[in-house]
Amino acid sequence: MSFIPVTHSRSFRIRWVICCLIVLVGYVTGAMPVWAQNPGTAQSVILNPINITATRSERSPADIPNSITQITRTPQHNYQPGATLDEFARGTPGVFFQNQFNFTQDLRIAIRGFGARSPFGVRGIQMRVDGIPATLPDGQTQLDSIDPALIERMDILRGPSASLYGNASGGMIDITTREAPPEKFVVMPRQVFGQYGYLKSELFMGGRQGNFGYSLYGSHLQQDGWRGHSAMQNTFSQAKLNFQTSDNSNLMLVLREFYSPLSKDPGALTRAEVQADPRQASARNVQYNAGEEIRQEEMGIRFRQKPSAGKEFSVTGHWLQRDFQSRQQFFDGGQVQFDRQVGGLMMQFVNDHILFNRPNRFLVGIDYGIQNDDRQRFNNNFGARGALNLSQTERVQSVGPFFRNEWRMADKLDLVFGGRWDWLHYQVKDQFKTDGNQSGSRTVSQASGTAGLVYHVTPQQQIYAHVASVFEAPTTTELINNPAGKGGFNPNLNAQTSLSNELGFRGNTAGFQYDTAVFFIRTWNEITPFELTSSPGRSFFRNAGQSRRIGMETRLATPEWKGLRGEVSYTFSDFEFEKYLVNDANLKGNIFPGIPRHRWEGLVRYAHPFGFFGQVHVQRVGEFFVNDINTAANPAYTLGQLLLGWEKKHHSIEGSVFFGVNNLFDAHYNANTRINAALGRYYEPGPPLNVFGGVRMRIAVF
């Protein structure tokens, strides 16, 4: 049963009707000429797999002094279950995923340790989808409204990028969803089945009529879950419209809606409970009916224009509405409800010109965002709503002007530098004053900079060096979770800052792609989570003094040979605290929790000319600690996936069937860990060997 109010959804449905009418009119009239495939238009940016947009302008990865992984959709991506984002990004060094099976807590992502502290959702990493920020002004990101089956391309910037994106930019994930296909009309249904009640239905439709391209997508996902109290279901829909408004300008409109009426949280277990019965849910989670319900609606619009050769101006606006209710596994304030409104505006200008007889690109812009949460907390009376014990309005505003310059200072040497200044203002208005007035405000301002060099050893090989600063302000959720038990903000929690140094080498020789990077990051006021025994499951946060991170990331991919190709990656992470005093204990030298020291991934794919295909993916995750005091660890584990199928094309109709095995080696492992959890409840076990399969079709009209 859903408790989500629907008063805000009517206007969004009206926009959906208008969107569909636009598609219908464009399709029926055919009044617009064929989409211009000009270099620099939004379409060419998306279709060209060589360039990336994670640095806010279309650029070849060879010219960027950062570690960048670009992943484009392959046929094998069409044969994944389509549940979580990590299915698309497997094999990326330096990026660690957890929590693929607890949809209440969301997928956890860590890039070089940034994001490892997150108890739910994503922290410390910026994310954009079709150029629209998925990261809120306060720095948190929810991934529930990103469907992995809709992703066309993903650019992952591994390392700090605050000079471009500001707060919480320890890494950057830039996602492009599927564009309108080149045909007049295409329809692609897909159905996936799996164990433990897994069922996902998808439908994609799109096409082009003259200057107009559109794609419509809808999906429904449900599963009972392997563990007790882990059933979920959600529905997602997106409309993406592209208009070529003139020879040198284009307009994109994106509408999305996500609705999850059911998402149960099985909670974490102690090691003894895992050994006794890994399928069981935490008794407290069942007792308090832990879970959540969500409705989210969002809209984004982007306009790009090239007023003259070498110049491009773009403006992007976005809006989001999120209704959220959750039940946590404790009584006092254990039910949370908020109505969130988010809006923003981004403007930037790119100028390609000649500086001292050398090519130069100068980029300048400004980002503005506002977030308003109307939050209430109620006592959780074993799943029933109890008395109100908190009511407050939280507002965050952010402003960030930035610039970036990319100059070919010599025939083989590029110089890149940039800077940004961010201003964040937090304000809370207490509307529940029986325990006093906790209204207040906080302001965080920070300058960030970056500088890098790229040396082109050959046209296909580069050596690069990069220095960047990054800061991470506490999110509103982290600030309002006050261990003192009061409303308002936690006055003892401050922003963390980091300085990153990186050296890398990458290239492409005879079809072999290789990439190696080493880095050293020092962080001050590291934000770490902890729990109280009185509120198990609720995370509080504190600053941990100082830490340092030393790491190496490497990847090798082979060219295709007679339908066979492979890739392998390795990540080494040596992260530890340099200064950290907590409860009179000195934790200097302790290992950073939540990140394995060693991690390997390997992938082999084969495609036969007759349409048969297969893929094997293996991941080895080393042991890692799950608390700051290093008394509890998550054991190492090895996961594998086998994927087999057959696809056939006849004229304009394609069809395929596929079959997969997850956890191929039937490993006993924990799919998620909760850092510094109370009562030793660190572990969320993952399912044993399980199978899935499905069918997919593509029908085109030319």
Please answer whether residues 452 and 66 qualify as being in contact, where contact means their C-beta atoms are separated by less than 8 angstroms: yes
Write the DSSP string, 641-697. Answer: EEEEEEEEEETTEEEEEEEEEESTT----EEEE-TT-GGG--EEEPP-SEEEEEEEE
Between the CA of residue 17 and those of 20, 23, 256, what are the distances in Å? 5, 10, 13
pLDDT digits 0-9 by tens, 393-408: 999 999 999 999 999 9
Mean pLDDT of the 483-487 span: 67
Pairing relation of β-strands 564-579 and 546-557? antiparallel
Integer Cα distance of 699 and 676 in angstroms: 51
Q: Is 129 in contact with 438 (CB distance < 8 Å)?
A: no
Which residue reads 């906080």 in tokens? Answer: 442
Distance between CA atoms of 528 and 93, rounded to whole angstroms?
A: 23
Does the pLDDT value for residue 10 go beyond 60?
no
Per-residue pLDDT, averaged over 20-45, amounts to: 36
Which pLDDT does position 499 carry in this prediction?
Answer: 97
How far does Cα 95 stand from its chain's mean position?
A: 11
- Given a contact cutoff of 8 angstroms between Cβ atoms, the answer to whether 144 and 294 are in contact is yes
Work out the end-to-end distance of the chain between its first and last CA atoms, rounded to an integer number of angstroms.
Answer: 44
Work out the average pLDDT over 336-341.
96
Q: State the pTM of this model.
A: 0.91
Domain contains 1 = no
For 110, 590, 594, 638, the CA distances from 551, given in Å and listed in that order, are 13, 16, 15, 21
CA distance 143 to 294: 12
Q: Report the distance separating Cα 678 and Cα 675, nearest Å.
A: 9
pLDDT at position 478: 84
What is the predicted pLDDT for the residue at 51? 83
> What whole-number distance in Å separates Cα of residue 95 and Cα of residue 517?
13
Q: Provide the CB-side half-sphere exposure for 558 (13 A, CA).
A: 14
For residue 10, the SS3 value is helix
- Position 357 in a domain: yes
Q: Phi/psi class of residue 293: alpha, beta or left (left: φ > 0; alpha: ψ in -120 to 50)?
A: beta
E strands, 264-334, in order: 291-308, 311-327
pLDDT on residue 537: 67
- DSSP character string of 567-633: EEEEEEEEEEEEE-EETTEE-TTPBPTT--SEEEEEEEEEE-TTSEEEEEEEEEE--EESSTTS--E
Neighbours of 478 (CB within 10 A): 25
Confidence at 484, pLDDT banded by 50, 70, 90:
low
According to DSSP, the residues that pair with 616 across neighbouring strands are 604, 642
Lowest mean pLDDT among 230-234, 455-459, 583-587: 583-587
Q: What is the number of structural domains in the chain?
A: 1
Q: What is the pLDDT of residue 570?
A: 98
pLDDT of 21 reads 42
**What tens digit of pLDDT does each residue of 360-382 get?**
999 999 999 999 999 999 999 99
Cβ–Cβ < 8 Å for 293, 338 = no
Summarize pLDDT for 161-182 with one digit per residue, the tens: 999 999 999 999 999 999 999 9
Measured CA to CA, the distance from residue 77 to residue 192 in angstroms comes to 13
User: Which run of H or E residues covers position 263?
Assistant: strand 249-263
Report residue 545's pLDDT band, with 50, 70 and 90 as the boundaries.
Answer: confident
Give the phi and the psi of residue 28 in degrees, each rounded to 5: -75, -45
Rounded to whole angstroms, how far apart are CA atoms 294 and 288?
Answer: 18
Average pLDDT for 331-346: 95
Note down the domain range covering 527. 9-701
Tracing tokens 């990101």 back to the chain, one arrives at: 141
Lowest-confidence pick of 77-81, 468-472, 579-583? 579-583
d(CA 63, CA 46) in angstroms, rounded, equals: 18
Q: Kindly state whether residue 3 falls inside one of the protein's structural domains.
A: no
If DSSP codes are grouped into helix, strand and coil, which group holds residue 112? coil
User: Residue 111 pLDDT > 90, yes or no?
Assistant: yes
More confident residue, 280 or 584: 280
> What's the pLDDT score for residue 236?
98
Ranges 344-353, 487-496, 672-681: which has the least confidence: 487-496
Query: What are the residues whose beta carbons fall under 8 Å from the beta carbon of 585, sequence distance 6 or more?
Result: 629
Q: What is the DSSP letter of 290?
A: -
Q: Residues with Cβ < 8 Å from 415, sequence gap 6 or more? A: 405, 406, 407, 409, 451, 452, 453
Instruction: Note the pLDDT of residue 486.
Output: 65
In a domain, 157, yes or no: yes
> Per-residue confidence at 647, pLDDT binned at 50, 70, 90?
very high
Contact 77, 188 (CB under 8 A): no
The secondary structure of residue 41, as a DSSP letter, is S
In terms of pLDDT, which residue wins out, 636 or 434? 636
**Tell me, what's the pLDDT at 655?**
96
Asked whether residue 276 is assigned to any structural domain, the reply reads yes
Residue 548 forms part of a structural domain? yes
Q: Check the CA dihedral 10-13-17-18 and report its sign.
A: positive
**Residue 452 resides in a domain:** yes
The percentage of the chain sitting over the pLDDT mark of 90, rounded to a whole number, equals 80
Cα torsion through 112, 115, 117, 119, rounded to 10? -150
Tokens 């994310």, residue located: 127
Tell me the pLDDT tens digit for each residue of 177-191: 999 999 999 999 999
Determine the Cα–Cα distance for residues 108 and 106; give it in Å rounded to an integer: 6
Q: Are 261 and 103 in contact (CB under 8 A)?
A: no
Q: Is residue 2 part of a domain?
A: no
| Average confidence score pLDDT of the chain | 90
Q: Which of 599, 602, 518 is nearest to 557 (CA)?
A: 602
Give the pLDDT score at 599. 98
Residue type, 105: Q
3-state helix, strand, coil split of the chain in percent (to 5) is 10, 55, 35
Return the CATH number at 352: 2.40.170.20
Q: Is the pLDDT of residue 5 over 60?
A: no
